[in-house]
Structure 1
């Protein structure tokens, strides 16, 4: 069992298909209106979930953080799929867009990427078992609960992901500030695409570049080093969504 906390994460957890064991709410009159909203959402969705009122101190100890907004939930754990299982699941589906998240160690960046990706219709995110921030309560809170609706695809590492996805017909692109082509040059809604987003401090390794189909960039108006990786993800995710809106 794991704990998550915060208003939006708990609401989205309730709305998702995850198993929820219990919801804990701070015994504070000031927060009662929101708690009534949570209880109403459970009833609306016909979810029978145990809930109880506890002290703020107990919530803080439970969450290992004072930033719980007076609410937390115990649940069965985050849902992920192995990359082989995911490829079997999608079968012959033609138009898919994924992010491959390489060396994203900051849980706040990871949560922000998941929030943008889910909101803008990205099919899923490939995350590595040893080269990624752990999916945890911080990721859930930063994603505003989007993590519970996102397709999280686990891979052993970057080369495993590239090999499996290219073998399944994906065009794999790396996002690099010095690339010749722009991300806007691609019709991301037509075909299978996966874009690698790397930690801005490390970038995409030369060995990885040698195994992919090409690199792309986001054109910049100023001569500046780079964008934060979560901002980059948001721009690319919006371009993917925009191409669908433009039809």
Structure 2
């Protein structure tokens, strides 16, 4: 019979038996021991939430790399405007055999006067550096933008001697809109601009270009949580007014214009987010002719900031 140790030729040699000979060797006891609390889903290798968290971390790292790298302003007019405005350029790239005109000559002269390195490079290399933008043979490299802390914005505003006027952006993702809003903020006497850390454009080459160099003079900060930062400013006595198509008041009846004020500009599509809208003391609409679509974020911000500046001039608050 198979396995019968008494059958001839089937005797198992001593020491060759599989498994434990006496007892379980502690395997049974260890099997009964607890393994501790179950790790969170994000910490369990192979779990869908762990994979999602890893992918989100990788995207965030790539976003940081994009923000921290140098930017290049491309185009003859933008480069000249940036140099005139004092944008802190580090290198002026000039394409070999470029057809020099007054703008190229002025750009080279301004760069030399400011001690900015001037490099002649093949046009193909300038194409690559500017991501195939229309550079017209000129590119100005600027260092990563240095953002300030949100607390610094309010301190700067209070030290100005005028009622604080700050601008906060809620999800403005187009760098051209961001640059235009920064330019309007500087033009109408705002003391700083606040950006959220997520779902927002940053000061890139496009924003530099649209701001016409005013980003170099305007304090700009990033808030980890925009709603929480607005509440902190409100506790300091600052009023919050949000631009909204269905605002609680229209721009003609904005009573907060001469108070310490934060103007909140919503995103290009959905406007103000729910939490930010609930944080506002007032929401403000801009009266428009019938049949006309709403203004984009940067134009609406300019209209409201111009009205705030006008009221402050009339009342002598600036």
Interval of TM-score (by shorter of Structure 1 and Structure 2):
0.7 to 0.9
The structural deviation recorded for 1:213 is 1.0
- Per mean C-alpha deviation after superposition, the further-off stretch among 200-209 and 148-157 is 200-209
Q: Distance in 1 between matches of 2:229 and 2:77?
A: 31
Q: Can you list the C-alpha shifts for 1:47-71, whole angstroms capped at 9, x where unaligned?
A: 2121122222211111113222322
Q: Is this contact kept in 2: 1:128–1:157, CA < 8 A?
A: yes
Q: Distance in 2 between matches of 1:38 and 1:149?
A: 20
Q: 2:25 is matched with which residue?
A: none
Q: 1:82 is matched with which residue?
A: 149
1:214 to 278, 282, 287: 282
Structure 2 residue 125 is the aligned partner of structure 1 residue 58: yes
Q: Can you list the C-alpha shifts for 1:132-160, whole angstroms capped at 9, x where unaligned?
A: 01321121223233322222121112212
Q: 1:166 is matched with which residue?
A: 234
Gaps of 5+ in 1: none
Aligned residues: 245
Q: 2:107 is matched with which residue?
A: 38
Q: Can you list the C-alpha shifts for 1:185-222, whole angstroms capped at 9, x where unaligned?
A: 33666331111111142222333232221111111221
Gaps of 5+ in 2: 1-68
Q: 2:186 is matched with which residue?
A: 118
Q: 1:2 is matched with which residue?
A: 70
2:201 to 108, 111, 133: 133
Q: Is this contact kept in 1: 2:153–2:219, CA < 8 A?
A: no
Larger relative contact order (CA 8 Å, sep ≥ 6): 1
- Specify the SS of the correspondent of 2:128: helix
Q: Give 1 or 2: higher strand fraction.
A: 1
Q: Is this contact kept in 2: 1:97–1:189, CA < 8 A?
A: no
- Specify the SS of the correspondent of 1:164: helix
Q: Distance in 1 between matches of 2:77 and 2:238?
A: 34
Relative to the length of structure 1, the TM-score reads 0.85
Structure 2 residue 134 is the aligned partner of structure 1 residue 67: yes
The structural deviation recorded for 1:12 is 4.8
Q: 1:237 is matched with which residue?
A: 305
Q: Is this contact kept in 1: 2:258–2:308, CA < 8 A?
A: no
Q: 1:90 to 1:178 in 2, by over 3 A?
A: closer
Q: Is this contact kept in 2: 1:187–1:243, CA < 8 A?
A: no
Q: 1:202 is matched with which residue?
A: 270
The structural deviation recorded for 1:33 is 2.6
1:21 to 87, 90, 112: 90
Q: Distance in 2 between matches of 1:42 and 1:135?
A: 21
The structural deviation recorded for 1:29 is 4.5
2:261 to 193, 211, 221: 193
The structural deviation recorded for 1:42 is 4.2
Q: 2:164 is matched with which residue?
A: 96
Q: Distance in 2 between matches of 1:124 and 1:184?
A: 24
Q: 1:12 to 1:123 in 2, by over 3 A?
A: farther
